[in-house]
Amino acid sequence: MSVKILGIESSCDETAAAVSVDGRTILSDIIASQAAEHGKFGGVVPEIASRRHCENILGVVKEALHAADMQLSDLDGIAVTYAPGLIGALLVGTSFAKGLALSAGLPLIPVHHIAGHIASNYIAHKGLTPPYICLVASGGHSLIVEVKDYTSFKILGRTRDDAAGEAYDKAARVLGFPYPGGVHVDKAAASGDPSKYHLPDPKVSGNDLDMSFSGLKTAVINIAHNAAQKGEELDKNSLAAAFQQTVSNALVSRILTAAEITGYKKISAAGGVAANSGLRSLLQSECEKNGMECFLPPIKLCGDNGSMIACQGYYDFMAGKRADESLNAVATMELE
Ligand code: KG4
Ligand code: ZN
């Protein structure tokens, strides 16, 4: 018999729900994105995010069930992102899922948002099984993760300050692109010359797999200011290309080192920045060169979505993870 899980995600600015079958197959995937509204403020406004989740969540869940041609009684469990993220945003999804699970008499499965991002690869790549190394690069996290099993993780490296996506958004702002800026930097980089500008290497002392992206923003600001002071025109496309190359090199070199240390021959990437064309092509070519398998999520599953929660919810369900009515949302929580 197949296991059907409804996944609910509301940790940031997407209200999302999806239905999975046996983890790997997605029957429906509905997202109400608030990105355009937050864009007016240059970033996510937590208070607005909570209100929009509150308005949208019932409709999104109803639509996900309808698109999957299912009733609540057809489900085996309800999975929800409960950590980490914006607390007010997480509370909407968590409270809603608790009420729904209670009224339907279904098990409630608490899902870690980062575990969800990692699971997005299982949907597209039916043959991907742990153990492997995963690069998680999103707006809030930059992690090199050893995926020991579907529900067991070890963090091998992380950013000491800004996340890769945060760095993209900050650089985008300096270059005059709207929020969220990563995708605009990606497009601009396509017609730039990365060798035109020199940016600092995001390395740090201590752990070779750790990184620091905060200096990159300062370097981009300085280059823009210097050009303005000298009355020179800033070559935005080339600065975007240099930035993208620096971030991609930093992330890819660390993931390859992690694979070397652990001896794994499988690598995957996840999170919003995994949609970056420069990162994807560098990761694929380096994996090919080093005889490793490379698994990348389809672009639509890189950002926050319900499918990844429905998928990870299945593995957490099979591992016996359950929550009761005391489940609370948690803003900060390690994956391990
Ligand atoms: O995973 P995600 O949707 O949300 C979080 O959990 O944080 O990641 C959003 C981040 C944003 O910083 C956005 O600018 C970045 O992913 N992003 C990109 C691209 N598409 C989205 N960064 C670089 N290149 C892209 N193509
Ligand atoms: Zn995310």
The full set of domains in the chain, from first to last, is 4-119+304-318 (3.30.420.40), 130-301 (3.30.420.40)
Is residue 229 within a helix (H) or strand (E), and if so which, with residue range?
Answer: helix 214-229
CA distance 200 to 185: 18
CA distance 167 to 240: 12
Question: In a mutational test of the pocket of ligand 1, which residue from 34, 114, 183 has the highest number of ligand atoms less than 8 Å from its CB?
Answer: 183
Q: So what's the pLDDT on residue 283?
A: 98
Kindly tell me the burial class for residue 204, based on how many C-beta atoms sit within 10 Å of its own C-beta (0-12, 13-18, 19 or more). Answer: middle
Q: Which atom of ligand 1 is nearest to the CA of 275?
A: 26
Q: Is 244 in the pocket of ligand 1 (CB under 6 A)?
A: no
Q: Which atom of ligand 1 is nearest to the CA of 303?
A: 3
Both tokens assigned to 308: 């990844």
Q: Is 145 in the pocket of ligand 1 (CB under 6 A)?
A: no
Q: So what's the pLDDT on residue 144?
A: 98
CB proximity list for 129: less than 8 A, separation 6 or greater: none
Q: So what's the pLDDT on residue 4?
A: 98
**Percent of the chain scoring above 90 in pLDDT:** 98
Q: Give the pLDDT band of residue 1 (cuts 50, 70, 90).
A: confident
Q: So what's the pLDDT on residue 210?
A: 98
Residue 281 has pLDDT above 90, yes or no: yes
Q: So what's the pLDDT on residue 257?
A: 97
Distance in Å, CA 46 to ligand 1 centroid: 17
Q: Is 169 in the pocket of ligand 1 (CB under 6 A)?
A: yes
Phi, psi of 142 (to 5 degrees): -135, 105
pLDDT digits (tens, 9 = 90+) for 123-165: 999 999 999 999 999 999 999 999 999 999 999 999 999 999 9
Distance in Å, CA 271 to ligand 1 centroid: 7
Residues, CB-to-ion distance under 5 Å, ligand 2: 138, 304
Chain mean pLDDT for the chain: 97
pLDDT digits (tens, 9 = 90+) for 183-201: 999 999 999 999 999 999 9
At position 194, the amino acid (one-letter code) is: P
**Three-state secondary structure call for residue 326:** coil
Q: Is 138 in the pocket of ligand 1 (CB under 6 A)?
A: yes
Q: Is 157 in the pocket of ligand 1 (CB under 6 A)?
A: no
β-pairing, 142-149 with 152-158? antiparallel
Is pTM beyond 0.95? Reply is yes
